[in-house]
Amino acid sequence: MMHQTIEPLLQRQQQQEEDGTTTTTVQAAGGGAVAGHHHHGGSGKLTLLPLVFLIYFEVAGGPYGAERAVKAAGPLFTLLGFLVFPFAWGVPESLVTAELAAALPGNGGFVLWADRAFGPLAGSLLGTWKYFSCVVNIAAYPALVADYLGQAVVPGSRARTATVAGMTVALSLVNFTGLSVVGWGAVALGFVSLAPFVLMTTMAVPKVRPRRWAAPVSGRKDWRLFLNTLFWNLNYWDSASTMAGEVERPERTFPRALAVAVVLIAASYLLPLMAATGATDAPPEAWVNGYLADAAGIIGGPWLKYWIDAGAVLSSIGMFEAQLSSGSYQLLGMADLGLLPSAFSRRAARFGGTPWVAIAASSAVTLAVSFLAFDDVVATANFLYSLGTLLEFAAFLWLRARRPELKRPYRVPLRLPALAAMCAVPSAFLVYVCAVAGWRVFALAGALTALGVGLHGAMRVCRSKKWLSFNNAAAAEDRRGDHVAGHRV
């Protein structure tokens, strides 16, 4: 149900129209309103297939990077892990995302959910945790592409640095063309990067010997590396929720897209790994990053190996574009909630309503992070992602328990005790990820958490002093302390 809201939001709408955008509010469950953006000159909202492949690239992008699991625990445990983990971990997070993205279909996703459940500080803190985790992942992809190009193409550290910076800027420019372009680009990249694995799996069938799946690991199994590899390859199921305001009929599209993505991602890991481990005699110790391409060369010949190497580059591009979109629309959603200055919600009408300020800011942060040493930074990003997801599960359970009036077009068909049990399994793993982190990770995560709290306080001061422009409707309600349906009116 569409309606106009109070005068401050109308004033904001007039300002956005001058920037080439309009804002309306969609009646949300429980009587509140969730910001929804309808832009001039847009090329349409995301439909099912582009959303499936955006989720695919948010989470996986193909089986690249799964090799370390074989090295750590052997083929059998790796196959069991990639059979069970997408469902034990991915299904609960997908169900949470499907219900809340349909109930509160505004940009910002999980930030909006935490804000609705626990207030603006929780939303801002979760946004800080997840955003930092997101940009660290984004920054890794241009470096990965540069590494795949090889030393002959990128000789020396200066040339590599220039290549990483150039790729970051060039790939960021694609995001300015519009989310629809990024979505259909993800579909094309997905098909091209998955095709060699389909061929490899098909060609491997007559060569598979099941006994090879039981090949033992020399020495002790590295369970920590094994679990971290599964986690790194299969997280971020909720990232696409930050773009919920750009999805056509999110109450129907999100649950369907997530269901398809779970099956697609599980198959994209399990089948190539079954083929490569069952059709080659390499011991688990040989399974270092990139060995899947070597296995493809053994199974199908050098041409297939080169195709999978090229697919790694295409997959990295797809993951960069999908995750940059997610991070940018998260900033836009936080601006809609009044957690960030309203400048982050500005859109470029001539490019399909893209949030150009948010994209530029995310690109700049990504470029800065790309020059950092990644070992402890990536571990810290995983730690913060775990904290954010625990808060996300808490918001889901709180809203189900305390906001039964919230209209849920899609509802997980379980009662509250069963939902708590469903969330307990992935939560236990998240607690484990946090518990095994080193002291440097704890220190850096603590500093970034303090930064998130400080940023929220600074934004409140800037809003009260009128040093920066914020969503006036959100600010007015925040002063009243009245939080309604994720967007304040």
- pLDDT at res. 218: 87
Mean of per-residue pLDDT scores for the chain: 84
User: Does 438 score more than 90 pLDDT?
Assistant: no
Neighbours of 474 (CB within 10 A): 25
Within 10 A of 244 (CB to CB), how many other CB atoms are there?
Answer: 29
Q: For 318-363, what is each residue's pLDDT tens digit?
A: 999 999 999 999 999 999 999 999 999 999 887 778 999 999 999 9
The C-alpha atoms of residue 307 and residue 200 are separated, in whole angstroms, by 11
Q: What is the DSSP letter of 343?
A: G
Side chain identity at residue 98, one-letter code: A
Q: Quick one: pLDDT at residue 54? A: 96
CB neighbours of residue 112 within 10 Å = 35
Q: How sure is the predictor about 32, in pLDDT bands with cuts at 50, 70 and 90?
A: very low
Q: Which of 261-270, 288-297, 418-427 has the lowest mean pLDDT?
A: 288-297
Tell which wins on pLDDT, 108 or 158: 108
- pLDDT (0 to 100) of residue 30: 35
Residue 42 has pLDDT above 60, yes or no: no
Residue 143, pLDDT above cutoff 90: no
Q: Which two tokens stand for residue 44?
A: 């349409």
Looking at 340-354, 375-389, 414-428, which range is the least confident one? 375-389
Pull the structure tokens for residue 445: 């995560």
Each residue's pLDDT tens digit, 231-247: 888 889 999 999 999 99
Between 423 and 86, where is the model more confident? 423
Of 264 and 26, the structure prediction assigns the larger pLDDT to: 264
Q: What pLDDT, on a 0 to 100 scale, did the predictor assign at position 39?
A: 40
Amino acid at residue number 421: A
> Which among 28, 67, 116 is positioned nearest to 398, based on CA atoms?
116
Cα four-point dihedral sign 169, 171, 176, 177: positive
pLDDT at residue 21 above 60?
no
Give strand pairing partners of 35: 25
> What gap in Å lies between CA 63 and CA 291, rounded to an integer?
11
Q: What pTM, to 2 d.p., does this model score?
A: 0.86
3-state SS string for the chain? CEECCCHHHHHHHHHHHHCCEEEEEEECHHHCEEEEEEECCCCCCECHHHHHHHHHHHHCCCCCCCHHHHHHHCHHHHHHHHHHHHHHHHHHHHHHHHHHHHHCCCCCCHHHHHHHHHCHHHHHHHHHHHHHHHHHHHHHHHHHHHHHHCCCCCCHHHHHHHHHHHHHHHHHHHHCCCHHHHHHHHHHHHHHHHHHHHHHHHHHHHHCCHHHHHCCCCCCCCHHHHHHHHHHHCCCCCHHHHHHHHECCHHHHHHHHHHHHHHHHHHHHHHHHHHHHHHCCCCHHHCCCCHHHHHHHHHHCHHHHHHHHHHHHHHHHHHHHHHHHHHHHHHHHHHHCCCCCHHHHCCEHHHCCECHHHHHHHHHHHHHHCCCCHHHHHHHHHHHHHHHHHHHHHHHHHHHHHCCCCCCCCCCCCCHHHHHHHHHHHHHHHHHHHHCCCHHHHHHHHHHHHHHHHHHHHHHHHHHHCCCCCCHHHHHHHHHCCCCCCECC
- Residue 433 contacts residue 231 (beta carbons within 8 Å): yes
Question: Cα separation of 387 and 379, whole Å?
Answer: 13
Partnered with residue 36 across adjacent β-strands are 24
pLDDT confidence tier of residue 148, bands split at 50, 70 and 90: low
Q: How confident is the model at residue 150 (pLDDT cuts 50, 70, 90)?
A: low
Residue 408 has pLDDT above 80, yes or no: yes
- Could you give the CA distance from residue 212 to residue 74 in angstroms, rounded to a whole number? 10
Structure confidence at residue 349 (pLDDT): 80
Contacts 24+ apart (CB under 8 A), 7-12: 8/472, 8/473, 8/476, 9/471, 9/472, 9/473, 9/489, 11/472, 12/342, 12/471, 12/472, 12/473
Instruction: Grade residue 67 by pLDDT with cuts at 50, 70 and 90.
Output: very high
Cα(6)–Cα(37) distance, integer angstroms: 17
Q: Is 302 exposed, middle or buried, given 0-12, 13-18 or 19+ CB atoms closer than 10 A?
A: exposed
